[in-house]
Chain A
Amino acid sequence: MPGVESSIDQFESALLNVDRQAAKDILDEAVRIDPQEKIIERLIVRALDNIGKKWETGETALSQVYMSGVICEELIADFTETQSDSHLQSAPQIAIATFRDHHSLGKRIVLSVLVANGLKTMDYGQGVEAETLVRKVQADGIKILLISTLMLPSALHVPDVRRRLEQLGLDVKIIVGGAPFRFDEALWRRVGADAMGRTSSDAVEIVRQMLEDIK
């Protein structure tokens, strides 16, 4: 479809400049030209994905990643009358938590990108201890658990989650992420996770892959 790529570029730079009006105008125009396509999703998902990926290489900053997400959430809310939740996949169950830590910004970003990508994810909040976390996972029949930490000691307690899951005979995939895992490439294996993501875009890719495997 002509024009979509350039719209994505324009939309991305509007987001990077934290220019709400420009972002809205580009989206409105795209919808006007092509109301049938799932244009909003495509534009938003692609732009957020690019911005998230570029954080890892140092081309974008966290404030841009965060504000882009905020703007996109607002834009999506504006369109919710015309859209339904039907694009969200329901099973199997996915959940995310900020584990032991009180630093929830990473989780907030990952969660909003997962949802924008149509991956329905339960939010278990922040400062969650292993016991509570595992209880919730069991009650909700969660199959994929995303764990975010900012402090190293929190990351080092992930084995506790794994052990408790095993004791209950629960087959749950654990994906970890957050600063300690970005500084030590080997840490995710050491704590018994199944995968590690460096950015919110990674989270989407890994979850999609796991959903394929679970099928």
Chain B
Amino acid sequence: MRLESMTPMERTLAALSHKEPDRIPLFLLLTMHGAKELGLTIKDYFSESRHVVEGQIRLLEKYGHDCIYAFFYAPLEVEAWGAEVIYADDGPPNSGAPVVRKYGDIKSLNVPDVKHTPCLCKALDAIRMLKAKVGDTTPIIGVAMSPFSLPVMQMGFEPYLRLIYEESELFRRLTDVNIRFCVDWSNAQLKAGATAICYFDPVSSATIIPRELYLKTGFEIAGRTLSQIKGPTATHMASGRSLPILDDIVKTGTAAVAASRLEDLAAVKERCRNKISVLGNLNGVEMVRWTPSETEQAVKECIAKAGAGGGFILSDNHGEIPFQVTDDTLFAIGGAVRKWGVYPLDWIPADE
């Protein structure tokens, strides 16, 4: 086997500039697995930054993949607004009772001060410590919920859908407040040492809203938000569909987009080629029961569809690998990337 000649950072940057690195970069977007490594419950694990630092470093060494994932969990951001977080022993925390209980509450919402909000400081501390450990060798991926998707957790999905359609004034007000928060929070992570921000925006996906509505909402909001974030961003639909709005996503100024398992990775790659990079799209839910040979097959298939020419990072399609995925499967993914992901990808038939 050839020795790998690049650091994870060099490999990732080459891919993002649409060149072929030594091999396909692999982002194992692991969050809760750190708790397993440390023998802690998920709740205890996320209670202290040093746990997350230790967990991420151990996972990086164990699987030899190409990023540090500084994501705690989505409801962290509503915790910052005063909402409750519900922990589980076998899965990611969920958001509890909403902070916006009636539409009128939107008028009195105040943007949390990122530097003085304990749960956010905890995540920022983790990024700072991680940066001190990995320096410029490995990209550190920060995460921000988009101002358009955050309200599902701030107020609940049904009230939010009705707000979008029926309360344009309050929707605008909520959007403005959330944009300020998202920009502050993203820039604080970049300042702490994050290399890039993963902008989670599944409500914009074609799974959730039609394109006409996206153009008036999520698209416009992404444009306003991303232009104020002082670093590269990757847009993530959390496994919602992106194909119908891909050309629009490109215009928001993002550097990469994540593809859903529900769409053809080759089609996504074709539309993005030499414009923005593509992340994806291993099926995290199925991954829980994959055998080693199914794992290898899945990795091979993604590489065959999207690897050629760079501009591709292999990851799961949701932006978080389920807690139930075994170490064996994660090792098998790493093994398959080293076997099939070394450039040039001359094993791929010309018609792929």
Contact = CB atoms under 8 A, between A and B. Distances in A.
Contact of B158 (A108, A151, A152): A108
Interface string B195-211: 00000000000111110
Q: Is the interface of B mostly helix, strand, loop or mixed?
A: loop
A183 B210 contact: no
Contacts of B96: 102
B210 A186 contact: no
Interface stretch (B111-119, B161-169, B175-183, B249-257): B161-169
Interface in B247-274: 261-263
Interface in B107-143: none
A108 B161 CA distance: 13
Nearest to A17: B212
Contacts of A187: 285
A184 interface: yes
B95 to A, nearest CB: 8
Interface in A89-107: 101-103, 105
A153 B286 contact: no
Nearest to A55: B207
A58 interface: yes
Interface string A170-184: 000000000010111
B285 A183 contact: yes
Given A183-B283, A184-B283, A62 B209 contact: yes
B241 interface: yes
Interface string B266-307: 000000000000000001111011000000000000000000
A187 B244 CA distance: 28
Nearest to A64: B210
A33 B210 CA distance: 33
Given A105-B158, A152-B324, A153-B90, A18 B165 contact: yes
Contacts of A152: 91, 285, 288, 322, 324
B346 to A, nearest CB: 32
A63 interface: yes
A102 B90 CA distance: 15
Nearest to A106: B157
Nearest to A181: B285
B72 to A, nearest CB: 17
B164 A63 contact: yes
Q: Which residue, of A102, A156, A183, A190, has the highest number of chain B Cβ atoms within 10 A?
A: A183
A122 interface: no
A151 B323 contact: no
A111 to B, nearest CB: 13
A183 B284 CA distance: 8
A102 B91 CA distance: 13
Given A63-B213, A152-B322, A152-B324, A186 B165 contact: no
Given A61-B213, A67-B162, 4 more contacts: A60-B210, A61-B210, A154-B91, A186-B289
Contacts of B241: 58
B6 interface: no
A11 interface: no
A188 interface: no
A210 interface: no
Q: Which residue, of A103, A153, A154, has the highest number of chain B Cβ atoms within 10 A?
A: A153
Contacts of B324: 152-153, 156
B81 to A, nearest CB: 18
B288 A58 contact: no
A61 B94 contact: no
A70 B283 contact: no
Contacts of B94: 101-103, 151
A180 B162 contact: no
